[in-house]
Structure 1
Amino acid sequence: MKHNNKTLHILLTIAILCSLAGTAGAVMAQTEAEIRAESTTTLDLKRKNASTTLEKKAEVRAKIDAKQDIREEKKEARIASTTLIRENNKERRQDLKARVGVHIRKINKNHAEVIVRLQKISARIESRINKLEGKGRNLDTAEALLATANIKIDAAETARVAAAANITAALAVSPFTAVEAQKIKNEVRETEKRIREAHRALIDTLRAIKSSVKVEATATTTAN
């Protein structure tokens, strides 16, 4: 009987151990499955995150490339605009140079004609003075003023010739700029100034002649 109880005890112990072993195996199997599932989920998440990161990097790169393209396009547009402006400015300068040349030649021709007329007026005034002096009139003041007028006429002609040479030199400068245009303007103004001075000197001479004749006429009338 004791032997049977001992045997039964051993069998129960073995059964319990087997049961525990089976339970432990099941638990371990479940744990391993859960670990594998979790690992798979983690791996999928990492892959998804990696894919998202690559997409973001690609998106950022695309934006950078787009901005770079825009900058390049703007740069090319600025270069094209600058080139066009330079070409237009060059054309305008050439056109201005041509127009200034034509205009200045006309002005110089007019100046020459005016000076010739002043010289002719001076000659007529001199002839008139000589005639009046032949009649006994005293025109010393008028003669002095006429001499001054002739000096001013010569100065005007000298200024005109110098201006023509300087203007030709200015028009030969390339590129033709506002500096050369101003030089030409100054030369023209200087010639016109000399011409006005000569003209006023002739007017003063005529007034002196008129004044002398009037004074002598008054004196003659008073004497009579």
Structure 2
Amino acid sequence: MPLSDILDRIRAEEERTGRAPGSARLVAVSKVQPLERVIAVLEEGHRLFGENKVQEAAAKWPELKERFPGVELHLIGPLQTNKVRQAMELFDAIETLDRPKLARSIARLKDELGHCPRLFVQVNTGEEEQKAGIMPADADAFIAECRGLGLEIEGLMCIPPADEEPSLHFALLRKIAGRNGIAELSMGMSGDFEKAVAQGATYLRVGSAIFGERVYS
């Protein structure tokens, strides 16, 4: 589906739900996509992208950022503590802050490097054992712990269970954000981004609907 069609659908849902135009931003998820597809989207003028792995992003984005000024890059996959420094130097936002050890590593390197990406706490709204993210019941305490370390939490992120109604999970994430004074919500993917707009998403992570099916080597 052309990028313009996705953007039109987002704008239409914003209008339908009475939201300000442009209040839901599209993160083009470029993980495991051929470079030519990523460049094609960049050439259309899009500048906000998401990657799942630090190593994959490091292999392509420094050069692309030089070639296409204004790129904003979000890490949307799990972050290992041994990759924190590299992630903080490469990404503009880390959406997968999900445990105290990781928070402490980011806080330490924030002081050392003198800067910090924008931070989102990942909440495991479905309480799935195989999925990363802080449990909903622990979210308030974890957000407070992060703030106690001097970290500014700008947003929350979730990935709903594949077999459940996503709107329920989006509503839960919005509720947690509201009571913690958090403005940004990263939620919604290719199959449910319009429902996410309706629930207040400010970032929508869409991959295959833009780029086509992923090519795994």
TM-score, normalising length: structure 2: 0.20
Larger helix share, 1 or 2: 1
